[in-house]
């Protein structure tokens, strides 16, 4: 049977289905926005700045994550080919250097990948999802396959939790808050959801605040936010409480269809 990139034996399938990982997705976007070229590449070539299109773009991003995680190999390849084609045909302008650059430049792609993996792993562990150190390393190594989907060489991205930490630390000197990053952050608080999702509007600001609080202190400072040990404790306690509360919801409601199917396969 074609289980795609990961499969029932993977740490990825066990972790990614947990609803608390939605916070990790928000955190990843906020972390990615601190890379000037990654942020400007998105801002200059997408509907990110159009509030009316923001939800549709978020849905496309979510669908890409779903396909990479649970899709069959042909589904993953089709989705990856679309993304690689888009990246290969678009350019952006860096006003700090005057350069034009392609969106498939490895540096920004590598940062986007690392932020995604780090955010999922960090939120999962702080929320209390069962993950020992060896499993955390396996999770990072498994996501090298996802990096290949967007055009990166697996060997060029971190393969363990330690390598991931070292990579992010090494990138810090080149990170800073660019003016374009302010808009998506504001949009995260005020995104115009479709009418059928209107009950979720009050939830978005809280999710965004929690995602911001889970970021490293240096990243929060770049966003002009307080960064104290107390806020770290608040973020971890809130994640644990939410994860425990969500765990009381019946599985058929708690998990998305793909995650439910994955759990059945893992139990075999």
Specify the pTM. 0.92
Length of the chain: 268
Confidence check: pLDDT of 124 > 90: yes
Residue 268 confidence class, pLDDT cut points 50, 70, 90: confident
Tell me the pLDDT tens digit for each residue of 17-36. 999 999 999 999 999 999 99
Which of residues 173 and 96 earns the better pLDDT score? 173
Confidence check: pLDDT of 197 > 60: no
DSSP per residue, 126-169: HHT----HHHHHHHHHHTHHHHHHTT--GGGS--SHHHHHHHHH
């Amino acid at each position: 049977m074609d289980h795609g990139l990961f499969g029932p034996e993977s740490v990825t399938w066990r972790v990614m289905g947990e609803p608390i990982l939605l916070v990790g997705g928000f955190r990843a976007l906020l972390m990615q926005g601190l890379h000037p070229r990654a942020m400007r590449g998105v801002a200059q070539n997408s509907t990110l700045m159009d509030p009316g299109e923001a939800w549709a773009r978020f849905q496309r991003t979510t669908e890409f994550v779903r396909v990479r995680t649970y899709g069959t190999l042909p589904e993953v390849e089709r989705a990856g080919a679309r993304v690689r084609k888009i990246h290969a045909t678009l350019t952006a302008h860096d006003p700090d250097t005057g350069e034009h650059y392609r969106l498939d430049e490895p540096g920004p792609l590598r940062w986007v990948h690392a932020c995604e993996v780090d955010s999922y792993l960090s939120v999962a562990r702080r929320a209390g999802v069962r993950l020992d150190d060896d499993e955390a390393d396996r999770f990072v190594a498994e996501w090298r396959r996802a990096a290949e989907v967007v055009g990166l060489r697996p060997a060029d991205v971190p393969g363990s939790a330690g390598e991931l930490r070292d990579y992010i630390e090494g990138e810090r000197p080149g990170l800073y808050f660019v003016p374009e990053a302010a808009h998506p952050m504001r949009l995260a608080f005020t995104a115009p959801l479709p009418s059928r999702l209107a009950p979720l509007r009050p939830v978005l600001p809280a999710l965004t605040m929690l995602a911001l609080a889970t970021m490293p202190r240096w990243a929060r400072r770049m966003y002009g936010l307080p960064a104290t040990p107390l806020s770290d404790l608040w973020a971890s306690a809130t994640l644990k409480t939410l994860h425990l509360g969500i765990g009381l919801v019946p599985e058929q409601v708690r998990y998305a269809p793909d995650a439910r199917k994955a759990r059945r396969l893992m139990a075999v």
